Chain A
Amino acid sequence: MRKINLKSTEDTPQVEYHDGDNILRIIGRSLPEDAWAFYEPVIEWASVYSPASASSALVIELFLEYFNSSSGRYILELLSTLEKKGIDNVKVVWCAEKDDELMVEKGEEFSSLVDLPFEIKVA
């Protein structure tokens, strides 16, 4: 699978994927004005992802400090795209800081909207 390595900026998160550990990480702030422009290549990557070429299930690790509503929309689209790969092949790990009630709530909401194994980790 193609590698992804997008460095974080002041308003966009770090996004990385290496096929070695088969983890797609999205970490930081996601507040771009044009969220579609930022997430389109990631969603495109997800649509061509093939579980057949991986030795373990793909892990989507999300650790977002803040995200705006339009980013949320495309993160959901990303997860929905990966949902089609089968529940045995993809797992979501949603991380939040322990005092960040809203991010935990958001994780719960995402988990109810996609049919994928979903773990909420509070650090």
Chain B
Amino acid sequence: MKDERLSVYSLFEENRDARLVFTYRGPFQDSLTERIIGISENTLENQGEMARANRKVSFLIVECFQNMLKHGENMINLDGSLGDRGLFGFHSFDSTFYINSINPIPLAEKARIKRLVDHVNALSREELKELYKEQIQTNSLSEKGGAGLGLIELARKSGQPIRYRFDDINETQSLFSNQILFKKDINEEEKNFVSKTRGSYDQMLKDGNLIFYKGDLSQKSILPLLNIVELNVSLSPQQRAMKKVGHILIEMLQNISRHTPEVDQRKEGVFLIGVSPFGIRIQSGNVISNSVIPTLKERLDEITGKSPVELKNLHRLKFKESINMKDKNSSGLGLIQVAKACNGRFIYDFKDLGKGESFFSFGVVV
């Protein structure tokens, strides 16, 4: 574990002003669509003005994600094997929602896609409507079916230009990065996430991270996240280890949920899942009051440096004791259970944020 690093704090800092950040690096499958919408819907429900735009945003997510499924392809590695499929994600602020996707496309398609996006971006609302009507009858812009229509729909529903860039990655492929923006308040400053997302993607590839989330971690938000992890379990060749990820993730996120003070009906935290040379990495983090640090440290000291057998015995002892405890919902068992499940392979850190608060990072490898 000494070589494993905690990276949730820097990711939290980087995205501090966003209400919701979700980045996903696969596997990609149609059954994921509904589960991804579950995440955005939960956040937008409590977001004032944006709550009314919830359906529109869901529509954009579906269209964008399915466009990527339909037209993206795997990267071709140097040895000819199939590599990564790209990234899908979103950022939500008070009154804007950004949907970002990156996927490899055949180099031969680059000019056609560029022409199409530029054309769509140059049209007025009325012209887009006309083009849509025309295309739905002839569907001539894309031989693969739907690509042109998808883009026209995205431009129509978002009402904003599609931002994009291409980066050629090998002799036959280019990486197509794009951003769909939904704005409720026309005056809110617009950010351009295309390059930032491209940077995040490179970093995720380098670190082996697969999912990153920043946002509400109350019970209703944890469930859609678990549904995504569960689908990953069913698709993963490492089913045994991935199944463990689900169990540990629940405990880590519910611990955050239980110990984070609620602000605006939200309990904010971050988590990431990735693959490290040591196994599957799960990290979580949240802002805590400095007053809870002594109790938390006491609990961490209790489990630090223990062998798997010692953790098993400690858990057994505390578990048995917990039956007679008066306080029905706080037993400290969660942390011991996580330490036991990862055989003591965990790391943690406190970062002082000033004003009596700290950021608590916790990570395990399974």
Sampled A-B contacts (29; CB under 8 Å) = A10-B223, A11-B219, A31-B219, A31-B222, A31-B254, A33-B254, A33-B257, A33-B258, A34-B329, A66-B226, A66-B246, A68-B254, A68-B334, A69-B331, A69-B333, A69-B334, A69-B337, A70-B329, A70-B334, A72-B333, A76-B320, A80-B323, A97-B243, A99-B239, A100-B243, A102-B247, A102-B341, A109-B312, A109-B315
Candidate in A33, A69, A99 with the most chain B CB atoms within 10 angstroms: A69
Name the contact of B322 in the complex, choosing from A73, A100, A102, A109 (C-beta under 8 A).
Answer: A73
Inter-subunit contact A66/B333 (CB<8 Å)? no
B315: A residues at CB distance < 8 A: 109
B246: A residues at CB distance < 8 A: 66
B328: A residues at CB distance < 8 A: 36
> Chain B contact residues (Cβ within 8 angstroms of A): what range?
20 to 34
> A34-B329, A101-B240 are known contacts. Are A66 and B319 too (CB-CB below 8 A)?
no
Inter-subunit contact B240/A113 (CB<8 Å)? no
Inter-subunit contact A113/B329 (CB<8 Å)? no
Digit string of A31-45 for contact with B (CB within 8 Å is 1, else 0)? 111111000000000
**Could you tell me which B residues sit within 8 Å of A by CB distance?**
219, 222-223, 226, 239-240, 243-244, 246-247, 250-251, 254, 257-258, 312, 315-316, 319-320, 322-323, 328-329, 331, 333-334, 337, 341
Least CB separation from B233: chain A residue: A99
> A31-B254, A68-B334, A72-B333 are known contacts. Are A113 and B320 too (CB-CB below 8 A)?
yes
Least CB separation from A112: chain B residue: B316
A70: B residues at CB distance < 8 A: 329, 331, 333-334
Least CB separation from B325: chain A residue: A73
> Chain A contact residues (Cβ within 8 angstroms of B): what range?
20 to 34
Least CB separation from A101: chain B residue: B240
CA–CA, A36 and B323, complex, Å:
11
B333: A residues at CB distance < 8 A: 69-70, 72-73
Q: How far does the Cβ of A26 sit from chain B's closest Cβ, in whole Å?
A: 17
CA–CA, A109 and B319, complex, Å:
10
B322: A residues at CB distance < 8 A: 73, 76
Q: Cβ of A16 < 8 Å from any Cβ of B?
A: no
B258: A residues at CB distance < 8 A: 33
CA–CA, A33 and B246, complex, Å:
17
Q: How far does the Cβ of B165 sit from chain A's closest Cβ, in whole Å?
A: 39
Digit string of A52-73 for contact with B (CB within 8 Å is 1, else 0)? 0000000000000010111011
Least CB separation from A81: chain B residue: B323
Least CB separation from B333: chain A residue: A69
Within 8 A of B (CB), among A79-123: 80, 97, 99-102, 109, 112-113
10 A-B pairs with least C-beta separation: A36-B328, A69-B333, A69-B334, A73-B322, A69-B337, A33-B219, A77-B323, A99-B239, A102-B247, A99-B240
Least CB separation from A34: chain B residue: B329
Least CB separation from A78: chain B residue: B323
B254: A residues at CB distance < 8 A: 31, 33, 68
A80: B residues at CB distance < 8 A: 323
Q: How far does the Cβ of B84 sit from chain A's closest Cβ, in whole Å?
A: 26
> A34-B329, A73-B322 are known contacts. Are A99 and B316 too (CB-CB below 8 A)?
no
Least CB separation from A31: chain B residue: B250
Within 8 A of B (CB), among A1-29: 10-11
Inter-subunit contact B247/A73 (CB<8 Å)? no
12 additional A-B residue pairs with CB within 8 Å, beyond A31-B226, A99-B240:
A11-B219, A36-B328, A66-B226, A68-B254, A69-B337, A70-B333, A72-B333, A76-B319, A76-B322, A100-B243, A101-B244, A109-B319
Inter-subunit contact A66/B247 (CB<8 Å)? yes
> A36-B329, A73-B323, A109-B316 are known contacts. Are A68 and B251 too (CB-CB below 8 A)?
yes
Least CB separation from B242: chain A residue: A99
